[in-house]
Structure 1
Amino acid sequence: MMRSVEIETQRFRIAGEGFAISRGRRTHAEVVKVVLTEGGARGQGECVPYARYGESVESVSEQIRLIQQAIEQGLDRKGLLEAMPAGAARNAVDCALWDLEAKKAGKGAAKLAGLPSLTPVTTAYTLSVDTPEKMAGAAADAAERPLLKVKLAGAGDDERIAAVRENAPRATLIVDANEAWDESCFEINMAACTRAGVALIEQPLPAGKDRLLAEIERSVVICADESLHTSADLAGLKDRYDAVNIKLDKAGGLTEALTMARLARELEFKVMIGCMLGTSLAMAPSFLIAQTADFVDLDGPLLLAEDREPPIRFDGSLMHAPDPALWG
């Protein structure tokens, strides 16, 4: 039975003044959606192309079109791992295949993956990088959330961290430097994180330039993000990182992400499940990994002014399992 394949690029407006990290500010999330239809069943997946890895909605869409015929002829998830490299394009197709399989089988994706029933999880809520004064205000507005993720930018991060901690005294803090630290600010910013009781620091140094992490003693968990893409990278990170941030858009889908999570546990890493800035459809497959993650950062829909229907339900920072009508 032939499948039909639809590829669509979409834009979703980000709430407020947009979303800012060390590499710049955005006002819209740009995503690629894949819909597979077979025998009356319909499966869908979403990816978020990331310029840091040379991706765009155009390049990702073209990658999918290049294997569209194979998908139509019945390519499965195992074959997909061989047919496409890890990245956003493979993620959209892989997640659509999971959803299609769940719909055809009449059972949830969690059951197909051999997982127990899904339960709510607490996600981080992200504060964009800005001046210490503006970040203080954002922290005060979000102070009742239990877990805050603080975007940083390098120089001046010690003041940003202090401002957030002062205005959100009870929240657990994790910080994300997005590769922005260097030798000029590393020790100052690490000390600020220690003073503020930060629980985890994501990717303080650029990928490929992080040897310093193997030489320092620290009281804060350091997590690989840009330094990690697939399970093949994990063993080589043990000397520098205490935790790893698994993102489906880097891994190339839920299939590889499940393998990564299992191997990361075997290697005694703490596990974070993260996301690019996408809709509830992008978060839904990651919810399976979130069930056993030490840190969950799947707040993409909370940062958008518009989302899909039906959206994932959030009670504050408590994230519920996706409706099967959305995914899985």
Structure 2
Amino acid sequence: MRLSVGVAVERLPLTKPFHISGHVFTESPVMVLTLCDGLHSGRGEASGTYYLGDDIPAMTAALETVRDGLASGMTRAELQQALPPCGARNAVDCALWEIDAKRAGVPVWRLAGLPEPKPLLTTFTLGADEPAAMAEAALAYGGARALKLKLTGDLDLDIARVRSVRAARPECWMAVDANQGFEADALEPLVAALMDCGVALLEQPLSRGREADLEGFNSSIPIAADESALSLQDLDGLVGRFDTVNIKLDKCGGLTEAIAIARRARQLGLDVMVGNMVGSSLAMAPAFLLGQLCDVVDLDGPTFLAADRRPSVLYADGYIDCPEQVWGHRAPSTAPIATRLQY
């Protein structure tokens, strides 16, 4: 049975500019893929990976190389061989999971052999800003139980940021994300200051390609690999350098490889984290299923958007929950965009 292949490009505005090391974002451009056989449909949303040049034109071009195969019934296994890890493969893979689940009459989690989904404690991310502004933002996340702070590599300013947020929210679990912003000689004073502030996780302090600089560094805080862990092939090289791998579906090319990474990470003795590129609830839903296998969950992407899709994931008391009708089971609502998010 041939499939129709629909592609839409959407630019989802953020409520305010979002700052990380070396970048400022004001919107989240996404590609939405829909596959339909006339009776069942499947959807996937991808943002790509900005620091790899995997943007909307790149994703669109990649999709065109497999469009005919998709229309002819390409499987998820065939997709893994047809495209490398990228945003386009993520969108296609998620769409295939959903249409396959509908055809089988079971939810995606069951089809994938994952645990039955339950609400997950998620971090809420604070963009890099002046220390007082970040403390104010932390207070605005009144229901949050876990926070993640973006750092920029300015050691003194970053330490001030962490101290300010910790003073404002002493009860929260806290992680920091450097987005490759530091040099190796800053690790020791950075970790010492983070320890003093009760920070529980340090994400990607050094640039991709500098992983060997972490060998022999005895960190008192677990270090997570993000940009250093793009796909399954990077995983073995993390051992002895990182403690945790941050899996993002846009980086690794979909739920299929994400599940494989999580299971391989466990075999290697690594903890597992799920993260996201900023996107709507349609992008969070497959990652939420992966989150059932994870130690740390960072799925707050829709909270940065001026509007989300409907139906949407739910945030309450520091947790994310994903009703089954959002993706992967029942037919979606025809209303694509909801009103501005309320916190």
Residues 143 and 169 in structure 1, CA contact (< 8 A), matched pair in contact too: no
User: Aligned pair 1:256/2:271, yes or no?
Assistant: no
Q: Distance in 2 between matches of 1:138 and 1:254?
A: 32
Deviation at 1:141, TM superposition (A): 2.2
Looking at structure 1, the residues matched to 322 and 306 of structure 2 have their Cα atoms a distance apart, in angstroms, of: 21
| Alignment-derived partner of residue 187 in structure 2 | 186
Corresponding residue SS for 2:325: coil
User: Can you list the C-alpha shifts for 1:59-113, whole angstroms capped at 9, x where unaligned?
Assistant: 1011101210000000000000000000111000000000111111111000101
Q: Distance in 1 between matches of 2:202 and 2:236?
A: 20
Q: What amino acid is aligned across from residue 6 of structure 1 in structure 2?
A: G
| Partner AA of 2:10 in structure 1 | Q
CA–CA distance in 2 between the matches of 1:249 and 1:139? 27
User: What TM-score do the two structures reach when normalised by structure 1?
Assistant: 0.97
Superposed structure 1 runs of 4+ greater than 2 Å apart: 140-144, 183-188, 321-328
8 Å Cα contact 1:152/1:178 also seen in 2 = yes
Q: Secondary structure at the match of 2:223?
A: strand
Gaps of 5+ in 2: 330-343
Contact 1:144 1:168 in 2 (8 A): no
Corresponding residue for residue 83 of structure 1 = 82
Partner of 2:286: 285
The residue number in structure 2 matching 1:146 is 145
**2-structure distance, mates of 1:282, 1:215:** 37
Q: 1:8 aligned to 2:8?
A: yes
Q: Secondary structure at the match of 1:95?
A: helix
- 2:90 matched to 1:95? no
The residue number in structure 2 matching 1:113 is: 112
8 Å CA contact retained: 1:310, 1:326: no
Aligned twin of 2:169: 168
Query: Which residue in 2 is equivalent to 1:322?
Result: 323
Alignment-mate amino acid for residue 307 of structure 1: D
Would the aligned equivalents of 1:143 and 1:167 in 2 still touch at CA under 8 Å?
A: no
More divergent stretch after superposition (19-28 vs 222-231): 19-28
Deviation at residue 324 of structure 1 after TM alignment? 2.6
Q: Which moved more, 1:134-143 or 1:93-102?
A: 134-143
Q: Distance in 2 between matches of 1:55 and 1:33?
A: 15
Question: Is the CA contact 1:14–1:303 (under 8 Å) kept in the aligned structure 2?
Answer: yes
- Given residue 120 of structure 1, which amino acid in structure 2 is its aligned partner? P
* Equivalent residue number for residue 207 of structure 1: 208
- SS of corresponding position for 2:324: coil
Q: Deviations over 1:21-78 (max 9, x none)?
A: 1122111111000000013101000011222011111110111012100000000000
Paired positions, count? 327
Is the Cα contact below 8 Å between 1:33 and 1:92 reproduced in 2? yes
Asked if the contact 1:142/1:168 (under 8 Å) is kept, the reply is: no
Q: CA RMSD in A?
A: 1.3
Residue identity opposite 1:262 in structure 2: R
Q: Partner amino acid for 2:2?
A: M
